[in-house]
Structure 1
């Protein structure tokens, strides 16, 4: 896949992921008490509503940084930042580690699952980009190769 086509895929992917995450995180913040929480003896306590809200901004900053780095053709750095952003969706798996999560209303299930799927898709894209970074950087943007060393006389 060319850099231009990959850029289109990334823009669409991030656009959809951000939109879905807005719905999920706003619902999680506004309707915090409607989400199941771990019991008192759980290994990891539930995050507060404030942490959920702040988390969205932190994760989304990673996505924005990833996109900026991508446009600057720093593909590997972009892949790292995009991996950070992918956690925004993947962390939704935590909802299903709590008893009662499958009892949430269907539309809440839908946006939580969509957010997880978007996180997995962004993570997959980041892995693909990191693996193919050499092909995604045009020859003019690569640093010049060092000439072979001359043998000493």
Structure 2
């Protein structure tokens, strides 16, 4: 896949992921008390509504930096930031570690699962980009090779 085509895929992927995360995180924040919480014996406490809101901004900033680095053709570094952003969706898996999570209304299940899928897709793209970074940087943008000593 060419850099241009990969850029289109990344822009669509991030656009969809951010939109889905807005729905998920806003619902998580506004309706915080409607989500199941871990029991008192849980090793991991439930995040506060404030932490949910701050988390969205931190994760989204990672995605924005990843996209900016992609446009500057720092593919591997971009992949690192995109991997960080992918946690925004993948963290939704934590909902299903709490009893009662499968009892949430269907539309809440839908956006939580969609966010998880988006996180997995961004992670997959980031891993693919890191693996193929040399092929994604056009020859004119690569630094000259060092002579062998």
Smaller-chain TM-score bracket: over 0.9
> 2: distance between equivalents of 1:110 and 1:142?
43
Deviation at 1:146, TM superposition (A): 1.1
TM-score of the pair, normalised by structure 1: 0.97
Alignment partners' CA distance in 2, 1:112 and 1:72: 32
The 5 A counterparts of 1:113-124 are: 113-124=113-124
Match of 1:4 in 2: 4
Please show how residues 67-86 of structure 1 align to structure 2 within 5 Å. 67-86=67-86
| TM-score, reference length from structure 2 | 0.99
Question: Partner of 2:135 in structure 1?
Answer: 135
The number of equivalent residue pairs is: 149
- Compare CA radii of gyration and give the structure with the larger one: 1
Q: Which runs of 5 or more structure 2 residues have no equivalent in the other structure?
A: none
Give structure 1 stretches of 5+ with no counterpart.
none
1:56 equivalenced with 2:56 (yes/no): yes
| Greater than 3 Å deviation, 4+ residue runs | none
Q: Offset of 1:147 from its aligned partner?
A: 2.0
Q: 1:15: which partner in 2?
A: 15
